Structure 1
Amino acid sequence: MNTQADIGRLYEDRVREWARKSRNDARLVPADLSVRRTSPVCGSAVTLDICHNQEVITALGFQVRACTLGMASTAVVVAKAPECSFAEIHEVAIMLSRLLAGDDVHFPARWDALEMFVAARSFKTRHGSIMLPFQVLGEAAYQLDFVK
């Protein structure tokens, strides 16, 4: 059972600060591709508008209808993914999934903001929302035929 203290750690200041960054939609028009995914567990939805140069993301726009955790995760992705390859994003997604599963993970400096989700480990119903923007980019990589 999660205590009030656990919930407080889950929604710590830096999570709320990141979430504020994705509160207002910032769609990207024109975009090379727009992909939307919805979490079947909680109903959170993320749409990312993606511009890319081959396998490198050059810009992202977004629309987020998610909890604070999903908003924070999306804000990190929108801020950090440009100039990264889809393959790098996939590796970071694996690291985040491992962190949520309980592993000790040390993200590359560019992605160290994701360490804020360590408090979400015991909130399994929130993992889908946290992973959603990574799933959107994974779907985009698949649609663009970058998945090997």
Structure 2
Amino acid sequence: MTAETDLIKLYSGQILALATDMPLTGHLEAPQHSAKKRAPLCGSTVSVDLNMTDGLISDYRQDVKACALGQASASVFASHVIGKSLDDIQTLRDQLFAMLTADGPVPDAPFDGYQVLIPAREYKNRHASILLAIDATLSALKTT
């Protein structure tokens, strides 16, 4: 199989569907927390705005400028981020990083939708983009 064929397989129909149907896009009018992160290798960026209530994310919006893998990841993330704590997001980040870099298992439910990105393990240059929405959210929660 050629590298081009492998890359075409990587961008599966499921990944492309997630990328085109991303929830919680845009910006909040008056967010409590905001951050923007950039993946230096590919130039992808994600900006997030969020509000917290009783230690849980109560509102969330994202502006994603990334490859289909980064968009798909942001889609899975946004589908389940409401109601999560800082610790929940950190656990997800650790699990997804292990899945991508150490053949770890798929993150725990409700974030098990990340299984569609298992083929991206072989593409280390895409890992930062896949982690970008999570990293921006962690940055927003830890700096404000």
Flag whether TM exceeds 0.5 (same fold): yes
Change (3 A) 1:2 1:91: farther
Change (3 A) 1:25 1:108: closer
Is 1:82 matched up with 2:90?
no
Match in the other structure for 1:99: 99
Change (3 A) 1:140 1:54: farther
Indicate the SS of the match to 1:77. helix
Inter-partner Cα distance in structure 1 for 2:64 and 2:22: 7
Match in the other structure for 1:129: 129
* TM norm structure 2: 0.90
Inter-partner Cα distance in structure 2 for 1:68 and 1:27: 20
Inter-partner Cα distance in structure 1 for 2:35 and 2:24: 18
Offset of 1:116 from its aligned partner?
Answer: 1.0
Write the letter of the residue equivalent to 1:30: A
Structure 1 gaps of 5+ residues are none
* TM norm structure 1: 0.88
Inter-partner Cα distance in structure 2 for 1:2 and 1:46: 31
Match in the other structure for 1:31: 31
Structure 2 gaps of 5+ residues are none
Confirm or deny: 8 A CA contact 2:33 2:141 kept in the other structure: no
Offset of 1:54 from its aligned partner?
Answer: 3.9
Indicate the SS of the match to 2:37. strand
Offset of 1:36 from its aligned partner?
Answer: 0.5
Match in the other structure for 1:73: 73
122-131 vs 25-34, which moves further:
25-34
**RMSD in angstroms over aligned alpha carbons?**
2.0
% identical aligned pairs: 26
Inter-partner Cα distance in structure 1 for 2:21 and 2:10: 18
Change (3 A) 1:122 1:49: same
Inter-partner Cα distance in structure 2 for 1:28 and 1:76: 19
